[in-house]
Structure 1
C-alpha cells in the first residue's frame, strides 16, 4: 500500500499545491493521501473566523475532481454541522463520494466544539482511524481505534504556533507520534504545516511511522513537501498480547483506580504537546 502526507504552507489550500499533489499521487499509484488539519480554510484564530470558513463535508468533493478514482483522501476542514456546531473535522473522500467524517475530540481552540465519536474508515480491506492534532496526545482515542481494528492512525495536524512554542515542543510532539504507533501496533501517517507567517511558525512534523517506531518517511521541517512511502499494514495486531487482564491483580488495581479517582488524576497519562498551546501545561 502506498501512502502520502502533504505538508502544506501555513495558508494551506490558499497557497495552492493540491493539484500537484493529486497529479503525483496519480503517477505514483498512491492509495491514501492525508492533508493537514484545517487544510481547507486555514486554521481560524477565533469563532467568528471559523464561522466564516465553515462548510459541509459534501462541499469539499468538487476539490478532488482530478483525484484518481482509487485514491482515498483524508482532508482537514472547518465543519459546520447540521446542529450549527463548528468542528475541526476530516472528511474521507474517494471517487467523488464522501465516505465519512471524523471530528476533533479535544480542541484547544475556542473556535471549535468537541466531537463525540471515533468512526472507523476503510481503504479496500485496510481499516484506519483519524486522530486530529491535539487528540494525538491522549492515549485513549488511538487505543480505541486500534482495538476497533484500525491498522493505520491518520493524523491531520496543524501546528501553526508562535515560533517559541513550535521550537520548544517539536521534539515532544514528534515523539508522541512514535508513541501512538508503538503502543497501538499501528502505522501513523501525520500531515502538518510548515513555513512562517509573522510571529508564527509551522512545526513541520509530517512523517510516516512504522508500528515498531521506525520513521520510514519524514518531511523537511521548514518547507512544504509531499511525503510518499510504501507501507504494509497487513497482518494481525499485537494488541491481543498486551492485555492487562492477563494479570488479574494488576488489572483490578488499574480498573478500580480509574473508577475511584477523579479524571484529573490521570491527566499525566497524556503527553500535552501537539496542538496550539499558547501556554503549554
Structure 2
C-alpha cells in the first residue's frame, strides 16, 4: 500500500500552550485585563510560549452589559490594530497572548474578535467569530474569513465557541496546513459535555490538536462552566480543568500529529473539490520562556 503525501509540513519542535480558564467581570475592562495578565504570567512561569484566554474576556461575556456600556468596546483600525491604553498592561506580559474581545471597526460594526498580543507590539485583531449564536446576532457583525495564525513553525486554526459546532470550519484550517485549532469559548454550565464532544471530534476527524479555553463564573443569568481542555490528534484528552479557575499548560508534540496521520488518512482522502479552502493567514513572533523550542 502506498502512503499518501501528508498535507503540509509538520513543525520541528514542541509548542507549549497555556489555557487560562478565568472569570471575567462584565463591564470591568481594567479588572479583566489584570486577570488576563496574572494568568499569562502563571502560564509563562510554567514555560508556555502562547496563552489562550476565553471568548470576550476583555469585556466579559454579558451582552446586556456590553450594549449598555458601548465605551467598553475596543476600537480597531482597518488593519486590525487596537490603540487602547487599557490593554497596555497585557502587552507587557512575558508571553504571546490570544484573548477574546469585542471590537469596533471604522465602519461602526462591532465584532466578536480574538486579539493577538505580542510583547512589544501593538495589539491587533486576528480573527472575528464567523458563526454567531442566537442573540449575538443582535450585537455583532459576523466575520467572513477562515483564519490561521502562524507562530514559529506552527500553524494554528482559529475559532470562537459556536464556530466549533461547524465541522467545515476546523476542516478548512486543517486542509490549509494547521496542526492545531484554538477555540476560546464561553459555554454555559451544563454545556461542557457538548463542547468536549465537538472538540474531540474536530481533533480526530482532522488529525490535529484542539484547544478549548472556556470561562468560569460570570453573571448569575449566564454562568459559564469551565472544563477547558486540550485534545490530541486522535481525539484523546491530554489535559482538562474542572469548573474552577485554572491554568492548563500542555505540550503540543508534532510527533503525535505524525502518528495520527500515519494511521488516519481523512485529509488525504478528501475529494479534490473540498481540498482548497480560502484561508487567510496571520503571523506572530513566538515569545515566552520556551520560545527556543521553535
Give the counterpart of 2:44 among 26, 35, 54.
26
State the partner residue of 1:194: 216
SS at match of 1:119: strand
> Aligned-pair RMSD on alpha carbons?
2.7
Deviates more, 1:233-242 or 1:116-125: 233-242
Any idea what the Cα deviations from partners look like across 1:117-141, whole Å, max 9, x if unmatched? 0122111110101110000100111
Q: 1:63: Cα distance to partner?
A: 3.2
CA change 1:225–1:120 in 2 (3 A) is same
| TM-score (structure 2 length as normaliser) | 0.73
Aligned residues: 241
Q: Taking CA–CA contacts closer than 8 Å with sequence separation of 6 or more, which of the two structures ends up with the larger relative contact order?
A: 2
Matched ranges for 1:43-62 at <5 A: 43-46=61-64, 48-49=67-68, 51-55=70-74, 56=76, 57-59=81-83, 62=88
Any idea what the Cα deviations from partners look like across 1:17-49, whole Å, max 9, x if unmatched? 323223223322211100101010112424724
CA change 1:124–1:243 in 2 (3 A) is closer
Flag structure 1 segments of 5+ consecutive residues without an equivalent. 256-281
Cα distance in 2 between the residues matched to 1:243 and 1:200: 38
SS at match of 1:154: strand
Would the aligned equivalents of 1:133 and 1:158 in 2 still touch at CA under 8 Å?
Answer: yes
Any idea what the Cα deviations from partners look like across 1:225-279, whole Å, max 9, x if unmatched? 1111122136558399225867xxxx69x99xxxxxxxxxxxxxxxxxxxxxxxx
SS at match of 1:87: strand
Flag structure 2 segments of 5+ consecutive residues without an equivalent. 1-14, 275-294
Would the aligned equivalents of 1:181 and 1:212 in 2 still touch at CA under 8 Å?
Answer: yes
State the partner residue of 1:75: 99
Matched ranges for 1:80-91 at <5 A: 80-91=104-115
Cα distance in 1 between the residues matched to 2:37 and 2:157: 25
SS at match of 2:22: strand
